[in-house]
């Protein structure tokens, strides 16, 4: 049965009987997989970038100091832990005062991504693995310009005098905050108590950054969600940086609608091609029935044939989709400032599912008529045609009119068949 089905498939493709069906399936799969490969790579890149934009894999934020059991549980699970404190304060230097956003960080900050800094004003920063050392601070370019200081100068923060060590050019978890427009000062967490700025009523934001294996992060998240206190919340790649997430969602919806339109048109082409195949193979199926092939055998034969057709179309469509997604990357490359990792196999599975749905949803039901073709069709070509329900009123009129005229049954059958392609037995 399988050998016969493959021989029939090769013959039908060479003769052109199934070319329209094959092309429609391949185009539909290519459209779906092209969008799938593109969105999958962007999604993976956004996930990686989101972790860098957070400074870790998971972020615990509060308006009060964390309970020691938070960090202890994270360390027990094998996670890396870093801490930051954020608050506004005045900075003094060269007899000038400037309001700044102060960020005190631990030695291992950041856990994801890198800081960039430079010692030469006006030059691009170089990536560094850690923040400022104890006793020093980094200023961003706006604060450096406002205070008129350079690396090596000293400034006053609260009750402490700290040395400017570098100019901060990039901070991975800075984000976009329209309520915080002040320039940034980065300092070591160990220097914070000496400033005397942490008092009752101080507007501090406490952050606990965690990074590690995905399973360990998920376990910690489940543990801490049940113990969140007032003023505490969690952030991760799914809810951080909503401006980037919403842009990707809109692009994905637009491309998804485009591929859906392609699939809809392909479904129409598949249905028309299946109808044409049905009409042209009634005689062959009738001969097979006369040679002893049962209805179940005919059904299995065409199921194997069209399963092979779907497999070939899916293979070609996935190859075309993989090539086409590079066109999308070239077209939208100016909007993506990040490196895209390799995609997984999910788009291939989606393409195969589309081919199966189109074939067995729009092509296979009409082909069920082939299994029901009567063996007498080898003698009478009008047998085995499809019934058109909309012609039943005309058939009733012919029947009544023929009875009034005393027409013979053969004349009635000939008139009815010529009008509506009805099966004479029906």
* Domain residue spans of the chain: 2-48+244-380, 58-235, 387-426
Tokens 């699939």 locate to 263
Say how many Å lie between the first and final Cα of the chain, rounded.
32
**What pLDDT shows up at residue 186?**
94
Number of helices (H) and strands (E) in the chain: give both, helices first.
13, 11
**What pLDDT shows up at residue 239?**
61
- Tokens describing residue 49: 């970038």
Examine the pLDDT at 421 and tell me if it is beyond 60. Answer: no
Give the model confidence (pLDDT) of 111-152 as tens digits. 888 889 998 877 788 888 888 999 999 999 899 989 999 999
Average pLDDT score over the chain: 79
**What pLDDT shows up at residue 408?**
61
Give the model confidence (pLDDT) of 297-337 as tens digits. 777 887 788 888 888 888 998 999 888 888 877 776 555 55
Go through the chain and tell me how many residues it has. Answer: 426
- Tokens describing residue 2: 């399988």
Enumerate the β-bridge partners of residue 115. Answer: 128
The packing angle between helices 19-54 and 242-280, to 10°, is 170
Examine the pLDDT at 87 and tell me if it is beyond 80. Answer: yes
Of 186-190, 290-294, 309-313, 391-395, minimum mean pLDDT range? 391-395
Per DSSP bridges, beta strands 160-170 and 154-157 are: antiparallel
**What pLDDT shows up at residue 47?**
67
**What pLDDT shows up at residue 100?**
92
Examine the pLDDT at 382 and tell me if it is beyond 50. Answer: yes
**What pLDDT shows up at residue 390?**
43
Examine the pLDDT at 400 and tell me if it is beyond 70. Answer: no
**What pLDDT shows up at residue 30?**
87
Contact status, residue 205 vs residue 59, Cβ threshold 8 Å: no
Task: Tell whether omega for the bond before 110 is within 30 degrees of 0, i.e. cis.
Answer: yes
**What pLDDT shows up at residue 180?**
54
- The residue that leads in pLDDT, 390 or 65, is 65
- The residue that leads in pLDDT, 397 or 361, is 361
Give the model confidence (pLDDT) of 159-213 as tens digits. 999 999 999 998 887 754 434 568 999 999 999 999 998 888 788 999 999 999 9
Give the model confidence (pLDDT) of 44-81 as tens digits. 776 666 666 777 888 899 999 888 999 999 999 999 99
**What pLDDT shows up at residue 51?**
64
């Amino acid at each position: 049965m399988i050998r016969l089905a493959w021989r029939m498939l090769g013959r039908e493709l060479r003769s052109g009987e199934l070319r329209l069906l094959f092309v429609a399936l391949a185009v539909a799969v290519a459209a779906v997989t092209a969008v799938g490969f593109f969105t999958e790579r962007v999604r993976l890149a956004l996930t990686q970038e989101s972790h860098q934009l957070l400074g870790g894999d998971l972020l615990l934020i509060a308006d009060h100091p964390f309970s020691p059991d938070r960090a202890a549980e994270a360390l027990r699970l094998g996670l890396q832990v870093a801490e930051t404190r954020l608050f506004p304060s005045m900075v003094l230097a060269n007899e000038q005062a400037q309001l700044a956003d102060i960020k005190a960080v631990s030695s291992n900050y950041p856990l994801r991504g890198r800081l960039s800094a430079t010692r030469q004003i006006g030059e691009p920063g170089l990536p560094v693995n850690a923040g400022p050392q104890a006793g020093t601070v980094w200023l961003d370019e706006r604060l450096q310009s406002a205070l008129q200081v350079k690396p090596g100068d000293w400034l006053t923060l609260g009750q402490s005098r700290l040395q400017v060590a570098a100019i901060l050019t990039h901070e991975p978890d800075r984000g976009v905050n329209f309520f915080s427009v002040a320039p940034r000062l980065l300092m070591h967490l160990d220097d914070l108590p000496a400033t005397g700025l942490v008092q009752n009523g101080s507007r501090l934001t406490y952050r606990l950054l965690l990074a590690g294996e995905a399973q360990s992060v998920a376990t910690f998240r489940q543990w801490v969600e049940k113990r969140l206190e007032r003023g505490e919340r969690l952030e991760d790649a799914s809810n951080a940086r909503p401006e980037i997430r919403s842009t990707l969602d809109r692009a994905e919806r637009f491309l998804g609608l485009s591929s859906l339109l392609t699939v809809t048109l392909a479904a129409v082409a598949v249905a028309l091609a299946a109808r044409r195949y049905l009409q042209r193979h009634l005689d062959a199926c009738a001969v097979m029935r006369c040679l002893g092939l049962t209805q179940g055998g005919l059904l299995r034969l065409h199921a194997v044939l069209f399963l092979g057709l779907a497999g070939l179309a899916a293979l070609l469509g996935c190859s075309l989709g993989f090539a086409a997604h590079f066109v999308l990357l070239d077209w939208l490359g100016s909007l993506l400032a990040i490196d895209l990792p390799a995609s997984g196999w999910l788009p291939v599975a989606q393409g195969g599912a589309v081919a199966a749905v189109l074939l067995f949803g729009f092509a296979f039901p009409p082909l069920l008529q082939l299994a029901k073709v009567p063996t007498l069709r080898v003698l009478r070509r009008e047998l085995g045609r499809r019934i058109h329900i909309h012609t039943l009123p005309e058939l009733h009129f012919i029947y009544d009119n023929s009875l009034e005229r005393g027409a013979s049954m053969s004349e009635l059958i000939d008139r009815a068949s010529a009008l509506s392609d009805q099966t004479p037995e029906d």
